[in-house]
Amino acid sequence: MDARYRTRDIERRSLDVDALKRSFLEWLVYSVGKDARAATRRDWFHTVALAVRDRVVDRWMDTTRTYYTHDVKRVYYLSLEFLIGRLLTNSLANLGIIDECRQALDRIGLSLDEVVDAEPDAALGNGGLGRLAACFLDSMASRNLPGYGYGIRYEFGLFEQRFEHGWQVEYPEQWLQFGNPWEFARPEVLYPVQFYGRVEEFRDSVGERAYRWVDSERVLAMAYDTPVVGFGGKTINTLRLWAARATRDFNFGHFNEGAYMKAVEQKILSENLSRVLYPNDATETGKELRFKQEYFFTSASLQDILRRYLQHHSDFDQLPNKAAIQLNDTHPAIGIAEMMRLLVDQHAVKWDKAWEITQGCFSYTNHTLLPEALEAWPVRLLERVLPRHMQIIYEINAKFLNRSSARAAHDNARLSHLSLIDERGDRRVRMGNLAFIGSHKVNGVSALHTELMKQTVFADFHAEFPDRIVNKTNGITPRRWLHQANRPLSDLITSRIGEGWIHDLSALDALKPKADDVVFREEFRRAKRKNKKRLAAYLARQTGVEINVDSLFDVQVKRIHEYKRQLMNILQTIALYNDMRDSPTVTWTPVTKIFAGKAAPAYHMAKLIIKLINDVGKVVNHDPSVHDNLKVVFLPNYNVTAAEIIMPAADLSEQISTAGMEASGTGNMKLALNGALTIGTLDGANVEIKDAVGDDNIFIFGLTAEEANSLRQGGAYNPRDVIGANPALKRALDMISTGVFSPDDPSRYHPILQSLIDGGDHFLVTADFEDYCTAHDDAVALYRDTEEWTRKAILNTTSMGWFSSDRTVGEYADEIWGVKPIIPDEGDHR
Ligand code: H2P
């Protein structure tokens, strides 16, 4: 670089540091209303966030203005979940002012890390699905794609998990308690959303039959906007979250009569719509409210999209060229019927035209093949809550089935699979089918998952529309998951290949030869060790368990679910514990098993598995006979912030789902990118990770999806025989069943044993156990060979370029959305 520029750069930076320091002090006094002497860490967080937000606003307006002036095609990502996490480091890093900010705070006598730590973690999602949406927002902005996120501004995010005597207990997550400096409330952006009522038929001005929805109850959707800062700070997109507001806050009549509760009842009921995020698998609870949440945010978003479009257009012909609407799972699938209602009933578009427009706009991502996750709402519920939509769905269905090849072939079985209505028992609307036929493209989230979609749940649709299903393997943002979360490794990479990898992760390829460089390996190890120390300190603070930094950090972090098989992991842990106790003279490689993840509050088996892990931990961690060789730690309240500390520190990544059940996984990508070796089944994106890193740099074990399927279908699988033939497994199960880990309640774990032994072991834990243990032994053995392990770890990191969500959204943009990048014009503010 030219020396002149460098000097200027340094001057600009110090100017920036001073300017930042000044703006912090001003914000503290004039906006937070505190004196520097009295300010708490939280006050400083608000101060810094507001000052940073201030630097974003001009550019944000430029971006929005550019989209309007050029009337670009925009993509609207509709998602019931955005698992954002903290935003401060993310914004600073994407604006490129993290070091300046650190120095400015230094000059005030504050540490950036402490300020960062005062930010609550925005947990508006359950797991991978919501985090994917957040990574996509980052990637769309960083690739200068005109993308909007639409969702719900939940007052309470995913519950806070605490352990009480080893049991999960749920507490409300009050992330908004002290205000949210990132959002802009838009009280003027309000849309009415209707529920209940009835449908009236009438003749329109030209005498044609038309419908209107009357006597309904109304709730208002109010917008809150959060700027989404792209890397480099050029594009600042918008995440618009809806909050429910009552049409009338307060009933004076009731109040004057002394009916104080009644006076505010309507407000409370209406506003419950955006009160809380439902956890996955929260079976019966609040079904109707959940359904209403889905319609609430979808309707408000579509009204907003049409309003924006109509600023430039007088008819709807161009809508598919101006708006791509992505359905993140079936949660917003009611949008297909809502778009038809808005176009046909409110804007008098003819049915066939409206259908063509709808299909042209919408596309749908499927995230799981598990039957319980494919939403099917009772017809009776829809008839009551959304009567007009039910009519529209019937009409879509009739038209679709009439034209289907199944009707032509008189194939009734196929017709009933294709139908939007499941006629078996309590009649239900199949939201997956609605999303499928209302979309021009439908995608799975890994190659294997997409293939299985074609062969299983959507087989009949695939036969009908062979070009509609496409694959878009998930990805993760390298900004948050490497550049920000793992500074030691990030700095090491940048020192060798410059900063280009932050926005083009495929640049990591160039580092592959470094796996054979002794010096680089040493530095890579040093970075990992730093991260491991940080995690160890964090775990000690959170759980009180002290772990050995030199042990193998063996990590399984994700939602607790039987298909993800945390149970298999803890059974293997018990087997390893027994081996260590049996052979005390052997030199064991120390292993630390690290777990984190939440169980849906109504999912009893998952909660029992958490308790088992904690109970095993209690015994193992206090057994002097295994010395420091084995520790089991379950970190409570897993969230994005915890993930940012765990991912960089992991040595071994547990991706051990029953093959065919994990759609993709994204934790697998984060861990491999941070240099963990994967132990995993050939499931979801593990298959593609294996192809990328090479067979020698991953521990693959277990049944394939096909084998798992035929084993189950064959009906001859007998877990009892398998257990009988595997003494280590039998012993582990016996210990659980006789109360070794639960002396206070020896029968506590009988439901788990029951599901494995007599329940047929649906998730094939017993079938894969032996192979899993062998793979684990191999991993532990390799870990002793420090140089070889590091070589493979480096090859994992450097082979992950393709798994950037920049690549993923690029594919969506080109092949599904048809949107193009555009660099925002700069306004005259600079
Ligand atoms: C789900 C799938 C994952 C997938 C993710 C994003 C629902 O997330 O199960 O396999 O990677 O969506 O597509 P999760 O289980 O992590 O909550």
**Catalytic member of 238, 330, 473, 666:** 666
pLDDT value at residue 284: 57
**In the predicted structure, residue 614 carries a pLDDT above the cut 50:** yes
- 373 pLDDT band, cuts 50/70/90, is confident
How high does pLDDT run on average in the chain? 95
- 829 pLDDT band, cuts 50/70/90, is low
**Catalytic member of 46, 292, 331, 367:** 367
pLDDT value at residue 42: 97
**In the predicted structure, residue 1 carries a pLDDT above the cut 50:** no
Structure tokens at 54: 């201030």
Query: Higher confidence at residue 365 or residue 267?
Result: 365
Q: What residue's CA is closest to ligand 1, atom 6? A: 129
Q: How far is the CA of 598 from the centre of ligand 1 (A)?
A: 14
Which pTM value belongs to this model? 0.96
User: In the annotation, is 670 catalytic?
Assistant: yes
pLDDT value at residue 359: 98
pLDDT value at residue 2: 43
pLDDT value at residue 408: 84
pLDDT value at residue 436: 98
**Catalytic member of 428, 503, 514, 670:** 670
Report percent pLDDT > 90 for the chain. 90
Q: How far is the CA of 314 from the centre of ligand 1 (A)?
A: 40
Query: Higher confidence at residue 408 or residue 708?
Result: 708
pLDDT value at residue 254: 85
User: In the annotation, is 820 catalytic?
Assistant: no
Contact criterion met (CB below 8 Å) for 478 and 804: yes
Over range 716-741, report the average pLDDT.
97
pLDDT value at residue 15: 65
- Counted residue by residue, the chain has a size of 830
In sequence order, what DSSP letters do the residues of 99-148 get, joined into one string?
Answer: HHHHHHHHHHT--HHHHHHTSPPEEESSSHHHHHHHHHHHHHHHTT--EE
Q: Which of 247, 187, 211, 223 is nearest to 305 (CA)?
A: 223
Structure tokens at 67: 């989209």
Predicted ipTM? 0.94
- 827 pLDDT band, cuts 50/70/90, is confident
Q: Which of 77, 23, 81, 393 is nearest to 237 (CA)?
A: 77
Residue 401 neighbours by CB distance under 10 Å = 17
pLDDT value at residue 13: 60
Maximal C-alpha separation, the chain: 93
pLDDT value at residue 4: 45
Q: Which residues contact 197 (CB under 8 A, 6 or more apart)?
A: 213, 214, 215, 216, 217, 387
Q: pLDDT tens digits, residue range 756-800?
A: 999 999 999 999 999 999 999 999 999 999 999 999 999 999 999
Q: What is the DSSP letter of 438?
A: T
pLDDT value at residue 16: 87
pLDDT value at residue 323: 98
Q: How far is the CA of 559 from the centre of ligand 1 (A)?
A: 9
pLDDT value at residue 252: 81
**In the predicted structure, residue 249 carries a pLDDT above the cut 80:** no
Over range 567-581, report the average pLDDT.
98
pLDDT value at residue 286: 79
Q: Tell which atom from ligand 1 comes closest to the C-alpha of 280.
A: 17
Q: pLDDT tens digits, residue range 272-298?
A: 999 999 877 555 557 899 999 999 999
Looking at residue 177, its amino acid is Q
Q: What residue's CA is closest to ligand 1, atom 11? A: 665
Q: pLDDT tens digits, residue range 185-230?
A: 999 999 999 999 999 999 998 899 999 999 999 999 999 999 999 9
Compute the distance between CA of residue 144 and CA of residue 821 in angstroms, rounded to an integer.
Answer: 5
User: In the annotation, is 367 catalytic?
Assistant: yes
**In the predicted structure, residue 115 carries a pLDDT above the cut 50:** yes
Q: Which residues line ligand 1 (CB under 6 A)?
A: 126-129, 132, 367-368, 445, 474, 558-559, 662-666, 684
Strand order of the sheet with strand 699-700? 630-635, 591-596, 552-557, 652-655, 677-680, 699-700
Q: How far is the CA of 367 from the centre of ligand 1 (A)?
A: 6
- 390 pLDDT band, cuts 50/70/90, is very high
**In the predicted structure, residue 8 carries a pLDDT above the cut 70:** no
Radius of gyration of the chain (CA): 28
Q: pLDDT tens digits, residue range 56-106?
A: 999 999 999 999 999 999 999 999 999 999 999 999 999 999 999 999 999
Over range 498-520, report the average pLDDT.
98
Q: Which of 604, 611, 657 is nearest to 763 (CA)?
A: 657
Over range 416-442, report the average pLDDT.
97
Domains and CATH numbers, the chain: 70-86+121-474+813-817 (3.40.50.2000), 490-803 (3.40.50.2000)
Structure tokens at 55: 């630097």
Query: Higher confidence at residue 406 or residue 744?
Result: 744
Q: pLDDT tens digits, residue range 303-315?
A: 999 999 999 999 9
User: In the annotation, is 247 catalytic?
Assistant: no
E-strand ranges in 206-293 read 209-214, 217-229, 236-246
Q: Tell which atom from ligand 1 comes closest to the C-alpha of 126.
A: 17
pLDDT value at residue 12: 58
Q: pLDDT tens digits, residue range 315-345?
A: 999 999 999 999 999 999 999 999 999 999 9
Contact criterion met (CB below 8 Å) for 458 and 471: no
Q: pLDDT tens digits, residue range 155-188?
A: 999 999 999 999 999 999 999 999 999 999 999 9
Q: How far is the CA of 478 from the centre of ligand 1 (A)?
A: 18
pLDDT value at residue 283: 58
Q: Which of 718, 696, 551 is nearest to 633 (CA)?
A: 551
**In the predicted structure, residue 371 carries a pLDDT above the cut 90:** no
Compute the distance between CA of residue 396 and CA of residue 416 in angstroms, rounded to an integer.
Answer: 15
**In the predicted structure, residue 7 carries a pLDDT above the cut 70:** no
**In the predicted structure, residue 437 carries a pLDDT above the cut 50:** yes
pLDDT value at residue 3: 46
